[in-house]
A and B are shown apart, each in its own frame.
Chain A
Amino acid sequence: MAERMQLCNISENNFEQCTKCSICTTVCPVAAVTTDYPGPKQAGPDGERYRLKDPAYFDKALKMCLNCKRCEVACPSGVHIADIIQHARMDATLGKQRASLRDTLLANTDLLGTVANLVAPVANATLGLKPTKAVMHSVMAIDKHRTFPAYSRQKFTTWFKRHAAKEQDAFAHHVSYFHGCYVNYNFPKLGQDLVKLMNAVGYGVHLLDKEQCCGVALIANGLYKQAMRQGRTNIDSIRKSVTRDNRVVLTTSSSCTFNMRDEYPAMLGIDNADVRDSINLATRFIYKLVDEEKIKLIFKQDYKRRIAYHTACHIQRLGWQLYSIEMLRMIPGLDLVELEQNCCGISGTYGFKKENYELSQAIGATLFKDIADAKVEAVSTDCETCKWQIEMSTGLPVENPISILADALDVEATRQANNIK
């Protein structure tokens, strides 16, 4: 024991490594626009010492935290500030209070999606109609300015099974795809783009045995138990893919990726150590193949676009924006503007809530101005909720880097370069 003494400082979420330098307070998007939120330092390491003394020191205002993790990225001491805040919220919530109907509805992107999908035109019409919006605004407190993302008529999984599944076994290499709720219910094209891209370089794409919503919204809305159940299901499926089928798991959503890699163990206590490294953002996986010269990508000669890249909060926390940016830079005709790293304000379901709408738009204002100044025709980001927010707030189309890569790709030339029949 004696020889191991005081060689390191281990405290939950490193909260003791805080030197009270206050740097985190300079990057918090919520504290920047409201005085009701005490800021990451007070809510995190400062408050934690008091909560350890007595949980009654929990402050309700902590619910305003977006969990964007910008404080953690800025912290020079490695303190997991947002995790401290989330844990405090979790301790205060679990077993004590049930989430409201609205929080449950928004958090269950899966549930909402399944129902809406069956009746997509109706759902789209209903969710867009004024009376419905008014009801949502008043009864369920979803802000009336919000347009729910349109639901696709055909789920991604349905499309995949009908049109793509059969061909996948023929490839030499294989990956699994965690498509997430957004691709499945709202925007199957992104999934189709991934299949197109991977197939072009010789990789077959497969679905997991069973996939459920990753739970990022459940955590944000305090539905921890459900998040744990779904998380365990997902990790079981991922484990089967990795160990039984020898297939790594790709994703196209930075939030799903971050959630399953880092929040599962940190917030939900789900042990994913054996498969964590096999959960990979598609751009990172493809970048690595290119970097190691295992594949080649050939892009269209006539592709010409000016696009701004927005670093979503969670990809910044992952530290992986590098790969998406480097991949986009590989496209010769793409004029890429890297935006300053500012939060868009939506933070998953946060900005959908009535009480958060104004705050959410205020938080995003700096980003929207930067986008306007950049004079681009589209914005690219790895996060689907940033997409909704930016599209609503700037009117510009927002595309995932994978979709841009797929659009710019000269499929035939790429297949030939990689010797795919």
Chain B
Amino acid sequence: MRMDTVIMGGGLSALACGISLAKRGKRVTIVASGQSTMLFNGGSMELLGCIDGKPVEKPLEAIATLPQNHPYSKIGADRIAAISERVKLLFSDSGIEMTGSANANHWRITPMGVAKPAWLTLNDHLRIDDLNNLPAKHLALMCVRGFFDVPNAMLAQGLRELGFEVDMIEFTTDDITSLRRSPSEMRATSLAKRLVSNHALQRVADQLNSLAGEADMVLMPSVFGQNDSSDFQTLQNMTRKPLRLVATLPPSVAGMRMMTQLRHYFRMLGGTYLMGDTAVSGTFEGDKLTSVTTAKLGDMPLKADNFVLATGSFVSRGLRADYERIYEPVLGVDVVADNDRERWTSFGVLQPQAYFGYGVATDEQLRCLKNGKPIQNLRAIGSVLSGHDPVKMGDGTGVSLITAIAAADHIRENK
């Protein structure tokens, strides 16, 4: 089976790269081993949130100060500025409505009420552009009875520390109460499946309208709209006060929604998305990768002119750690990692952990190295890359998106 480009991995970076190529008429196949870490996303993209424990205000400016081994340093601040605009376009083309700027971070609100710097946030989620000028004074924090995947009191406390006046108001509806009959399955995503019909949304809106009191904004956990934002829009139209969502613990409805929309757009552009298959090995000829074998397609490997490695970090199994070493399991390309297991991690759980920075090594054009030499038609993007730390630097989704589009550009320029 011959393609223009085969992308290994099916998460945010894979789709961004795939869409970018498919838009220009390329035949692209994405091999996704299951759903991605986007299902742990809180409804925001982060370009660069933190350096040395301090929040970054102007990410594009701060990128210039990053060390050489950071993926951004290989792309350069100017190109990142241009790519960041194209990312916004890519989202809006996919039907994902987000707001933000790469010039200046805004703040997203986490399920624990912490304000974290963000680049783009879904329009239906709570976003604060200026901590000295809050979007509302008085919030009605609506707590879904029996739903434990938002620590409501922590959230309320965090919001109060930011200067909001917060009323915590517990509520339920028949749909919610009946879901709680399940001891285990009252998750954000299951609520989103229940709260779909106009009747179900009206029952929620009735509660919001009667309970929100003096508040000038209503906050809800992000449990609406797993396919698009229309359920939220319907609810907003039924609700008298402005309504915003706050991220929950995973699985994330916002993440699921964004992935569905991106996948849908990719398919519309003619792309092929193989869900539940995994790239297992590749065949090299000289300094080129010629085909990739997958677990399911078996004796019919995927051949292509270009390949992209977007398999993610350890959690997505794009990187493997065993008793002895850290390696890239599909193609065996070079990784940047410590040999000594003792140095992979540090003692305190909240301390920086070295393993987050591990990943595959690339040249300036994001080409993977094998035995120190670049593979001409194989590029790595997203979390599989070394030199960044999504948790401590707040650069995970940013690296995914920026490197995805930069790699797509390299692939086109190479022709």
Contact = CB atoms under 8 A, between A and B. Distances in A.
Interface of A: 5-8, 19, 21-23, 25-27, 31-32, 35-36, 38-39, 41-42, 46, 72-78, 277, 284, 288, 291, 316-320, 322, 325-326, 338, 340-341
Contacts of A25: 185, 187, 189-190, 251
A27 B192 CA distance: 12
5 contacts: A5-B323, A21-B251, A32-B190, A75-B34, A76-B35
B294 A74 contact: no
**Max chain B Cβ within 10 angstroms of own Cβ: one of A8, A26, A77, A340:** A26
Nearest to B275: A73
B110 interface: no
Given A7-B322, A74-B276, A320-B297, 17 more contacts: A7-B323, A22-B250, A23-B35, A25-B190, A26-B35, A26-B251, A32-B190, A39-B182, A39-B184, A72-B276, A78-B34, A277-B299, A291-B300, A319-B276, A319-B296, A319-B297, A320-B296
A96 to B, nearest CB: 26
Given A6-B323, A76-B36, A38 B185 contact: yes
Given A6-B322, A21-B39, A22-B250, A42 B33 contact: no
A5 B294 CA distance: 27
Contacts of A7: 322-324
Interface in B254-279: 256, 260, 264, 267, 272, 274-278
A39 B264 contact: no
Contacts of B183: 38
B187 A22 contact: yes
B317 interface: yes
A38 B184 contact: yes
A316 B276 contact: yes
B348 interface: no
B117 to A, nearest CB: 25
Nearest to B194: A32
B131 interface: no
Q: Lowest 6 A-B CB distances belong to which pairs? A: A319-B296, A73-B276, A6-B323, A35-B182, A76-B34, A35-B181
A21 B37 CA distance: 9
Q: Name which of B1, B33, B275 has the most chain A CB atoms within 10 A of its CB.
A: B275
Contacts of A72: 276
A19 B189 CA distance: 18
Contacts of B1: 291, 322, 326
A322 B185 contact: no
B: contact size bracket: 35 or more
Nearest to B149: A22
A318 B296 contact: yes
Contacts of B376: none
Nearest to A73: B276
B275 A316 contact: yes
A6 B187 CA distance: 34
Contacts of B234: none
Contact of B276 (A38, A317, A338): A317
Nearest to B299: A277
B317 A76 contact: yes
A26 B259 CA distance: 13
Interface in B298-321: 298-300, 315-317
A325 B275 CA distance: 14
A78 B178 contact: no
A326 B3 CA distance: 12
**Which secondary structure characterizes the binding site on chain B?**
loop
B179 interface: yes
Nearest to A27: B35
A39 B296 contact: no
Interface string B155-183: 00000000000000000000000111111
A78 B276 CA distance: 9
Given A74-B34, A319-B296, A26 B189 contact: yes
Contacts of A284: 300
B193 interface: yes
Nearest to A26: B189
Nearest to A39: B185
Nearest to A33: B193
A72 B34 CA distance: 8
Nearest to B37: A76
B275 A77 contact: no
Contacts of B324: 7
A41 B190 CA distance: 14
B251 A76 contact: no
B254 to A, nearest CB: 13
Contacts of A19: 315
A21 B185 contact: no
Nearest to A6: B323
B179 A35 contact: yes
A175 B39 CA distance: 44
Contacts of A36: 182
A27 B256 CA distance: 11
A21 B40 CA distance: 9
B184 A76 contact: no
B35 to A, nearest CB: 5
Nearest to B294: A319
A78 B280 CA distance: 13
Contacts of A322: 1, 272, 274, 297
Contact of B185 (A23, A35, A77, A325): A35
A319 B277 contact: yes
B187 A76 contact: no
B206 to A, nearest CB: 23
Contacts of B34: 23, 73-78
B38 to A, nearest CB: 10
Contacts of B2: 291
A39 B1 CA distance: 37
Contacts of A277: 298-299
B274 A35 contact: no
A298 to B, nearest CB: 21
A320 B34 CA distance: 15
A182 to B, nearest CB: 24
Contacts of A21: 39-40, 250-251
A284 B298 CA distance: 11
Given A7-B324, A22-B187, A26-B256, A38 B182 contact: yes
Contacts of A46: 184
A39 B251 CA distance: 14
A75 B36 CA distance: 9
Contacts of A38: 182-185
Nearest to A338: B267
Contacts of B193: 32
Nearest to A291: B1
A216 to B, nearest CB: 19
Contacts of B275: 73-74, 316, 341
Nearest to A2: B323
B274 A23 contact: no
A405 to B, nearest CB: 18
B185 A31 contact: yes
B298 to A, nearest CB: 7
A269 to B, nearest CB: 22
